[in-house]
Amino acid sequence: MAPHNIGFTATFQPMSTPPPPGSEPEHPEQRHEGPPETQPPPQGYPARDYPPVGYPSGSYPPPSGLAGGTAYPNYPAGYPGYPGADGGTEPPEDDPLVPADFGGWFERVIGVFRRSWRTLLIFQVVLAVLSAIYSALAASFSRNLTALSGALGPGFDPNAGPPPDLVAAVATAGMITLIGWGVLCLVVAFLAPASVFVVIRDAEGQPAPLGEALGFGASRMPAMIGWGLLAWILTSIGYVLLFIPGIYLSIVFGAALAGVVAVERTGIGRCFALVNPRFWPTAGRLVVYFLITLVYLVVAHLIASAIGGDPLSTTTGIVQAILLIPLGITSAGVAVVTYAELRFRENGVVTTPALAAELAR
């Protein structure tokens, strides 16, 4: 602010003895008509350094924009910052992805379903079609194996070896199982980053065209395949060895892997850094969702079996794949909301705008 000191010095004139009546001042030019506050000081007196009115001018540091939080390189300007390193600050109430508590977590998962179900539905329909094809092939080969296994009845000669048709059927079934499982994993690795892209962009109010989402998924697919395969191997080993490590790794990777690979473009080591400080709250959220999923799967299987007539029939597989579409859409919301909460609890400036900015890198 520029100093406002106009006319200020005239109000602090030093006292002097007035001249006798009728005498003229020694310096007539000192006579000045006007308000006292505008008169200059008499000549002959030294100028006084009086403090100026207002605030002194000078360089002021720019506002940090963060209320105690640390700087974040991709945090968009103009959005309020919230410190999160000490865990004592709550997220903005209107943030569409970052919850403040368990109830907010549920609300935001439902919000993801409402905002992004159209695009996510396309992704899940693709998975449902592939799953239905896989189920139909598996059911067909299962029936063939059942029929051929009759040759291993009481009249079977162990010295003669298994029938050639049975060997061929088992080999074909195993090959189809591996190929189908591999194709499904590749499609999931492609659609998981695309789903994260759609959910975050929709939450931020930015357009999320299908083509752009698929392009993003394709760009992150190789990393998702590599890190996802490693996570699956580690989790499987954990279940085989002591079971408890498998549960722990399932929670860590289920909560953060998709977001870490899609948003941060890093690896599974980052998952541990995010989840471990918030392990029990994160585990509680995922366990509740797992129980809900388990109940839903049982009900869906019963409905599909009632329609298809046989649990292993092609019709049953198709109906079950269709019934699992809403569960797939919800799973995308669970993954992104859980990841967004972990990011905020680690660094209080990371809210939905920051996540959207990271996607645009």
Contact 271, 252 (CB under 8 A): yes
What pLDDT was estimated at residue 313?
Answer: 80
What pLDDT was estimated at residue 208?
Answer: 95
CA dist list (Å): 293 to 82, 232, 345: 34, 20, 26
Contact 270, 256 (CB under 8 A): yes
What pLDDT was estimated at residue 68?
Answer: 36
What pLDDT was estimated at residue 159?
Answer: 63
Torsion-angle region of 266 (φ positive above 0: left; ψ -120 to 50: alpha; else: beta): beta
Other C-beta atoms closer than 10 Å to the C-beta of 157 total 6
The per-residue pLDDT string of the chain (361 residues; one tens digit each, 9 = 90 and over) reads: 444 444 433 333 444 444 444 444 444 444 444 444 445 545 544 444 444 444 444 434 433 333 333 444 444 433 444 444 444 588 999 999 999 999 999 999 999 999 999 999 999 999 999 988 888 887 777 776 666 666 565 655 566 666 666 677 778 777 888 898 899 999 999 999 999 999 999 999 999 999 999 999 999 999 999 999 999 999 999 999 889 999 999 999 999 999 999 999 999 999 999 999 999 999 999 999 999 999 999 999 999 999 988 777 888 888 999 999 999 999 999 999 999 999 999 999 999 999 999 998 8
What pLDDT was estimated at residue 168?
Answer: 77
Q: What is the DSSP letter of 264?
A: I
Other C-beta atoms closer than 10 Å to the C-beta of 352 total 24
Closest by Cα among 193, 210, 185 to 358: 193
Q: Facing residues of 53 across strands?
A: 4
CA dist list (Å): 284 to 101, 161, 277: 12, 52, 14
Closest by Cα among 335, 326, 302, 304 to 125: 326
What pLDDT was estimated at residue 162?
Answer: 65
Query: Residue 305, CB half-sphere, CA atoms under 13 Å: how many?
Result: 9
pTM here is: 0.73
CA distance 196 to 85: 25
What pLDDT was estimated at residue 137?
Answer: 81
304-320 burial, b for 16+ CB within 10 Å, e for fewer? bbeebeeeebbbbbbbb
CA dist list (Å): 316 to 131, 183, 319: 12, 21, 5
Q: Report residue 179 as tokens.
A: 């190929």
Q: What is the DSSP letter of 8?
A: T
